[in-house]
Structure 1
Amino acid sequence: MAGTGSLTDVSDATTAESTATHPTATLITVCIGMFMLMLDMTIVAAALANIQSSLDASLSGLQWVVDAYTLPVAALLLTAATLGDRLGRRRLYIAGMAIFTLTSLGCALAGDIVTLNVVRAVQGVGAALLFGVSLPLVAAAFPDPMKRARAIGIYGAVMASATAAGPLVGGALVTAIGWEWIFLINVPIGIVAVALAYRYVTESRADSAVPADWAGTGLLTLALLPGVLALIEGNGWGWSSARVIALGATSIAGLLAFIAWELRADHPMLDLRLVVRPAFAANALAAFAGAGTLVAATNFLALYFINTLGHDPFQAGLRALPLTLSALVVAPPIAVLHDRLPARWSLPVSMGVVAAGLWLCTGADASTTWTHYIAGSVLGGAGLGAVTVIASQSALTFVEVDRAGMATGAVNTARQVGIVVGVAGLGAVFSHAVATEANTGLAALTVGTMTVSVPDEQADMITEALGSGAGQRVIEFVPDQFAAAVPALSELARGATAQGLDAVMATSSAIAAVATLAVFVLLRIGRR
């Protein structure tokens, strides 16, 4: 995943005010911010199980821990870049970092899951501001093309390193100190970043800045928020309930209104003429599908490692390294060889590798250990690293130089939307599969040769807990009179949760496979 902004020919597109006095310090300052942002995107997965236990959160509450942060990033990213062009990128960087730092403190102090998710949403606003202006700040600080290329390479390496380090750092903090510290660690770093920006970063603006598309931003939010809420709460409310149908209809109406507005707006946040170009649409689709399948699925895998297999958060972070390191190793050579690898082949092949990696992660059962996921994680991570690089770089080949910022912004927005929708949708798949398996197991529960009849109230509690990803922690809900059934219930919990994760991996693999075919077809059409 990568941040973006209006990355245009900065030497022509910014005012003389943008001539940086301290380009290296600017790069360091921006990289500190981006390292913190990317770390925060992946560090949370290691803390979800402890957040669930500490705040008594349901699976939907945990889904919002991820989506409440990612949704504002998706909705505001393009607008933030435009605001930076108009108001000043340094100014927005400082504002975004201040918001992010203060809300990090608020997240750590949250006493319940609702408060945490509300503060996470505000944190996402700060993150969107930082994402929107970070790359343009670097580009403006290095007007020389060669120096700029090296600086952007360092910027990309820092982001990739933070993404890889997130699960491990998060696991270490949660295990050693507590989940609150995945947020508290941002506070001193944020203070340093604000001080550096205030002292060393030179202000830059675009000469031809356009007004922010606030109507488009609002309509995109209207399209995303009700749809995500329906996906997250659909199992609990009922997919045919009036609330879910109304939310789905509102989401569709919001999407149609967004499209209609963007087609007529003088300065749209997203020029839909880009999206209807088949080759460009293929890149956006690949970014969306990669994030919405493999990236989203890792959150459920982390819950499984901790709550079901019994690993502590640090151990779970270590077990996530095959995926993150694979992506980190593959991305740099793909970036170097990009011009020699035709995107019409490299992009669908990379997406296919993601689908194959996810498929290798299927087949789990009650006896499965974490080693079952190594091969699929390595293969899927390699595909994801390639897709991330190819989609971002190829997007620029289909647009004019002065629209490069919108192109990279659109691809990165697609990636964030993929995470939002993927976490919500796969959560529904997980809960349904676990509940189905748990209900079947409870109905046939035996101890030795005796059938155990679990009262409906206890059965519902167990099923709900398992559907929320509680895994082996479900034993906490077993009354004393069923102590003899604990081993059988433990086996049931492990099997039901494995079935839920298997459904997540199978669904993700199928979606990634369909996306592979669609990307291939779109790129073929784009060549005509």
Structure 2
Amino acid sequence: MSSPQTAAARGTATPATVAPAPYPRRWYTLGVLCLSLLVIVVDTTIVNVAIPTLAASLDAGSGALAWIVDSYTLVFAALLLPAGSLGDRYGRRRALSAGMLVFGAGSLGAALSGTAAQLIAARAVMGAGAALIMPATLALLTAVFTDPAERARAVGLWSAVSGLGVAIGPTAGGWLLQHFSWGAIFLVNVPVVAAALAGAAFLVPASSAPHRPPVDAAGTVLAVAGLGALTYAVIQAGEDGWATTGTLARFAVAAVLLAAFGYSQVRAAAPMLDLSLFRDGRFTAAVASVTVMFFGLAGVTFVLTQIYQFVLGYSPLEAGVRALPGALALAAASPLGTRVAARFGIRVAITAGMVTAAAGLAWFATADGGSGYGHYVVASVLLSAGIGLTMSPATQSSLSALPPAKTGIGSAVSNTSRNLGTVLGVALVGSIAATVYSGRMPEGPAGESVGAAAGIARHLPAPSAAALHDTAAAAFVHGADLGVLITAAAVLVTAALVARHLPGRR
């Protein structure tokens, strides 16, 4: 038998230096992972355009409508960390398949719901399935793409699908509502789930952490309770007000639970979440940038959907179609972000993306009640392009800081921050827009929401209808401007922190 030195002298590799062979069907695997990701991300926004229809069909009040939207996100965010840990322990393909089954069952239940309560419960089940799916997709991607250059391309495509799903949700929902009943926006998930399950069985390899971590029961309970309490506090703050006693109490409870979770992780022999990850600037900066970018995207999508329908008078389908330029900009900018990061470094790519997004948000904030579609599409394209430039480099940055045993839980941390950013964006921008709107409108039903004003205006004589529409449009757009302007400031501050603390080109 030849020695390692002899083998090296002959120019052959020793077993210790042989890189693992790439998975031969890895690009097909990526297709399955992206399909699985797309269906759960679309569901974060597809319901928004159906709110007026659901209100009439299910006789749902404003509180029930809010929970139809938020129950999915609440459960999704609360279960992400434990779900990522379970995938690391028991297998990421198993987590993906189990998540698709749960998500599909919840989708079928949502489509067949006859009351608002049933729909809220079904949406919560869908959120549980989504929590299993999302971290598994990124962990599996990391496992099958071992070459750094190929992994960067794969992450770029994954990131594009992740952001694209948020952007095309209103378009897909509008088209389905135009041609079918509201149940179609949930029933359409079932064949997608079936295709993803079949693809996972044949094209996705088994993958788990190299050393199975033990189940952290205390950490799991505290993570679910803490993240659930925080998400609930943010959601309710948008309705009850941010400075009320109830809101402050809910945030205090969430803070105590999350502090207890952190303490349990420090003390645990085998913690579910290694808090030392946050000492790495690549990981922390990536998490912060993703959070604030989805904060902006979700907030703008929430108010823009209402502006298109209630201010500019578009149907759900017309509003959805007009959201497509932003979606296309995001899809085009995501692979560009990968190339910029490869040439100039991740810090330059993320900072450039965040500055571009902030420019779009600032431009949005100059709108008034008479602004047309052209104004909003410029803002949407700039924001979406900035998010596309940021997403892939930020995901690469977080992955580069993760050991193989922690890719599931690490990606779950990143995705949890994304979901919390989404919830916070809708809650904060939505609450500011609603508060300013109510304060600038005379007392009465039309002052409750811009949608209520639009419904009343349809039954008034033309001069009165035009006057009410103009007043409501000016009030709502002014409130939306203020919320979006605060978002732009948050993005710029985060961009400055990223530029300061994220490692340079190396």
Which bin holds the TM-score, normalised by the shorter protein?
A: 0.7 to 0.9
Whole-Å separation in 2 of the counterparts to 1:202 and 1:399: 20
Give the aligned residue type for 1:329: A
1:90 corresponds to which of 90, 93, 98: 93
SS of residue in 1 equivalent to 2:449: helix
CA RMSD of aligned residues (A): 3.4
8 Å Cα contact 2:235-2:423 kept in structure 1: no
Whole-Å separation in 1 of the counterparts to 2:73 and 2:399: 24
Whole-Å separation in 2 of the counterparts to 1:423 and 1:247: 18
Whole-Å separation in 2 of the counterparts to 1:403 and 1:85: 7
8 Å Cα contact 2:100-2:129 kept in structure 1: yes
SS of residue in 1 equivalent to 2:439: helix
CA 1:55 to 1:358, structure 2 compared with 1: closer, same or farther past 3 Å? farther
Whole-Å separation in 1 of the counterparts to 2:35 and 2:401: 31
Partner of 1:497: 476
Whole-Å separation in 1 of the counterparts to 2:73 and 2:123: 9
What is the CA distance between 1:160 and its match in structure 2? 5.7
8 Å Cα contact 1:63-1:423 kept in structure 2: no
1:488 corresponds to which of 464, 467, 479: 467
Whole-Å separation in 1 of the counterparts to 2:394 and 2:252: 31
Whole-Å separation in 2 of the counterparts to 1:74 and 1:321: 27
SS of residue in 2 equivalent to 1:43: coil
1:181 corresponds to which of 181, 184, 197: 184
Partner of 1:366: 369
More deviation in 221-230 or 247-256?
221-230
Is 1:131 aligned with 2:131?
A: no
What is the CA distance between 1:27 and its match in structure 2? 4.6
Is 1:473 aligned with 2:473?
A: no
Whole-Å separation in 2 of the counterparts to 1:511 and 1:214: 36
CA 1:157 to 1:224, structure 2 compared with 1: closer, same or farther past 3 Å? closer
What is the CA distance between 1:153 and its match in structure 2? 6.2
Partner of 2:273: 270
Count of aligned residue pairs for this structure pair: 487
SS of residue in 2 equivalent to 1:364: coil
8 Å Cα contact 1:19-1:140 kept in structure 2: no
2:305 corresponds to which of 302, 305, 324: 302
User: 1:170-249 maps to which residues of 2 (within 5 A)?
Assistant: 170-198=173-201, 201-234=204-237, 237=240, 239=242, 241-249=244-252
CA 1:336 to 1:523, structure 2 compared with 1: closer, same or farther past 3 Å? closer
Partner of 1:516: 495
SS of residue in 2 equivalent to 1:207: coil
SS of residue in 1 equivalent to 2:208: coil
CA 1:19 to 1:85, structure 2 compared with 1: closer, same or farther past 3 Å? farther
Whole-Å separation in 2 of the counterparts to 1:337 and 1:484: 54
SS of residue in 2 equivalent to 1:419: helix
8 Å Cα contact 1:22-1:202 kept in structure 2: no
CA 1:20 to 1:339, structure 2 compared with 1: closer, same or farther past 3 Å? closer
Give the aligned residue type for 2:397: S
Partner of 2:10: none
What is the CA distance between 1:338 and its match in structure 2? 1.4
2:319 corresponds to which of 310, 316, 323: 316
User: 1:352-363 maps to which residues of 2 (within 5 A)?
Assistant: 352-363=355-366
What is the CA distance between 1:310 and its match in structure 2? 1.4
More deviation in 41-50 or 295-304?
41-50
Partner of 1:69: 72
8 Å Cα contact 1:19-1:141 kept in structure 2: yes
Q: Deviations over 1:197-241 (max 9, x none)?
A: 446655443331213444334333433434444444446545554
8 Å Cα contact 2:299-2:422 kept in structure 1: yes
Whole-Å separation in 2 of the counterparts to 1:358 and 1:154: 25
8 Å Cα contact 1:226-1:251 kept in structure 2: yes
Whole-Å separation in 2 of the counterparts to 1:494 and 1:403: 49
CA 1:501 to 1:154, structure 2 compared with 1: closer, same or farther past 3 Å? closer
Partner of 1:390: 393
Q: Deviations over 1:36-61 (max 9, x none)?
A: 22332343333344334444555554
What is the CA distance between 1:104 and its match in structure 2? 0.7
8 Å Cα contact 1:43-1:169 kept in structure 2: yes
CA 1:169 to 1:192, structure 2 compared with 1: closer, same or farther past 3 Å? same
Whole-Å separation in 2 of the counterparts to 1:415 and 1:132: 12
What is the CA distance between 1:317 and its match in structure 2? 1.4
Partner of 2:430: 427
TM-score normalised by the chain length of structure 1: 0.81
CA 1:251 to 1:136, structure 2 compared with 1: closer, same or farther past 3 Å? closer
1:34 corresponds to which of 18, 27, 37: 37
Give the aligned residue type for 1:46: V
8 Å Cα contact 1:79-1:212 kept in structure 2: no
8 Å Cα contact 2:106-2:122 kept in structure 1: yes
8 Å Cα contact 1:68-1:121 kept in structure 2: yes
Partner of 1:462: 446
CA 1:82 to 1:340, structure 2 compared with 1: closer, same or farther past 3 Å? same
2:440 corresponds to which of 437, 440, 453: 437
Give the aligned residue type for 1:521: R
More deviation in 143-152 or 187-196?
143-152
Give the aligned residue type for 1:473: G
More deviation in 427-436 or 234-243?
234-243
What is the CA distance between 1:145 and its match in structure 2? 7.4
CA 1:367 to 1:139, structure 2 compared with 1: closer, same or farther past 3 Å? closer
Whole-Å separation in 2 of the counterparts to 1:205 and 1:234: 39
What is the CA distance between 1:177 and its match in structure 2? 1.5
SS of residue in 1 equivalent to 2:43: helix
- Structure 1's unaligned 5+ residue stretches are 1-11, 443-458
CA 1:231 to 1:197, structure 2 compared with 1: closer, same or farther past 3 Å? closer
- Structure 2's unaligned 5+ residue stretches are 1-15
TM-score normalised by the chain length of structure 2: 0.84
Partner of 1:8: none
